[in-house]
Amino acid sequence: MNEIEVRSIIVATLKSGNKNPGLFDIPKLFGVKSKLESCNSISEVVEILEDSRSLISKSFGLSDSAFEESVGKIKVLEATA
């Protein structure tokens, strides 16, 4: 798994959102970040992102299509690996 590419896709997606996380969302997001950093495979990353979809989308103001596009790009990395 190319962690740098996965991180790049996630960061770019989060930056494309239209808001910043609130004070009460930050600890939850750090928990998600920790889980993502401990992943060993793309499928684990996708699973965590899907499980945390609501929190991530709400916290960063992401549309469903932006989230789906990001997950799709990550899945492509798995297919090419």
Burial class (CB in 10 A: 0-12, 13-18, 19+), 75: middle
Q: Mind giving me the DSSP string for 27-68?
A: HHHHHHHHHHHT--SHHHHHHHHHHTHHHHHHHHT--HHHHH
* pLDDT tens-digit series, residues 15-33: 999 999 999 999 999 999 9
* pLDDT tens-digit series, residues 31-72: 999 999 999 999 999 999 999 999 999 999 999 999 999 999
SS3 22: coil
Neighbouring residues of 38: CB distance < 8 A, sequence distance ≥ 6: none
Domain map (residue ranges) of the chain: 3-80
pTM over 0.75: yes
